[in-house]
């Protein structure tokens, strides 16, 4: 059964596709799924697009239509915890939706009727991903912990400081991970995610965002995925 590799930005997807010798396209749910091999292992590579709903649709299609055995997300994020700097890498242990608030009916951040606010990534797959990051990017600072997802590109110091105060454990913010983590929880499919820090989610966050993805993050994604599939059992 294949491993799914998901990215939100097409530059990262292109870097991963370049590693595959035999990919062919299948269209489902309005998306292009690239089915083939990487280091002899079956993979399905897909662009989730941006935001939680797009990510949830993608994860559901991967599981229902392509029967994937595990999902790995690779992308970028804005650092919010002190010391999580541009160019660092974050490996997720848990995800939370920072923009989910059904209070006072349910506690802030809790996903209604799940009794949970945080969804853990798969411990074994996450350890493998962590090892792949350290192998692929020696010298890069790697953090591990909570990632906060929401349907907002956080681009002001005021907002990132407010998030940091409300969620002191959160290392960084992005827009997809918690949705995929919830879908994978629903289906019992292992999930792991890695994010390169592209910005500090402050007033300069959007500056050279696209250039950073093209020059740094897409290279990181390809190197990490390459190392993960080369080393996977
Ligand atoms: N992905 C990368 N940077 C981000 C930010 N500042 N906010 C949300 N998602 C991001």
Tell me, what CATH number does 78's domain have? Answer: 3.40.50.1580
Q: How many CA atoms lie within 13 A of 7 on its CB side?
A: 25
78 CA to middle of ligand 1, Å?
4
41 CA to middle of ligand 1, Å?
31
Residue 8's pLDDT is what? 87
Residue 130's pLDDT is what? 98
**CB neighbour list of residue 116: distance below 8 Å, 6 or more residues apart:** 110, 185
Residue 127's pLDDT is what? 98
Among 8, 24, 68, CA closest to 218: 8
Q: Catalytic site residue 199?
A: yes
Contact 60, 48 (CB under 8 A): no
Residue 232's pLDDT is what? 66
Residue 231's pLDDT is what? 75
Predicted structure pTM score? 0.96
Q: Ligand 1 within 6 A of 199 CB?
A: yes
Q: Ligand 1 within 6 A of 12 CB?
A: no
Residue 209's pLDDT is what? 86
* Count: domains in the chain: 1
Phi and psi angles of residue 213, each rounded to the nearest 5 degrees, phi first: -65, -45
Q: Ligand 1 within 6 A of 174 CB?
A: yes
> Do you know the residue count of the chain?
233
CB atoms under 10 Å from CB of 169, counted, come to: 13
Q: Domain range spanning residue 14?
A: 3-231
Residues of the chain scoring pLDDT < 50:
none
d(CA 139, CA 126): 19
């Amino acid at each position: 059964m294949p491993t799914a590799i998901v990215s939100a930005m097409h530059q990262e997807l292109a870097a991963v596709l370049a590693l595959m010798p035999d990919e062919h396209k299948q269209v489902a749910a309005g998306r292009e799924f690239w089915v083939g091999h990487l280091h002899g292992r079956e993979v399905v590579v897909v662009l989730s697009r941006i935001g939680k709903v797009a990510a949830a649709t993608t994860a559901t299609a991967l599981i229902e239509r392509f029967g994937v055995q595990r999902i790995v997300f690779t992308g970028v994020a804005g650092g919010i915890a002190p010391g999580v700097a541009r160019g660092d890498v974050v490996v997720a242990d848990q995800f939370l939706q920072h923009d989910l608030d059904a209070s006072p009916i349910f506690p802030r951040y809790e996903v209604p009727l799940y009794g949970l606010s945080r969804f853990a990534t798969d411990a074994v797959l996450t350890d493998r991903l962590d090892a792949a990051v350290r192998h692929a990017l020696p010298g890069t600072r790697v953090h591990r912990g909570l990632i906060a997802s929401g349907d907002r590109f956080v681009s002001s110091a005021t907002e990132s400081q407010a998030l940091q105060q409300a969620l002191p454990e959160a290392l960084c913010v992005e827009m997809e991970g918690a949705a995929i983590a919830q879908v994978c929880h629903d289906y019992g499919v292992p999930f792991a995610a890695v994010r390169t820090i592209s910005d500090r989610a402050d007033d300069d966050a959007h500056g050279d965002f696209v250039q950073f993805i093209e020059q740094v993050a897409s290279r990181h994604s390809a190197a990490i995925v390459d190392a993960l599939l080369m080393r996977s059992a």
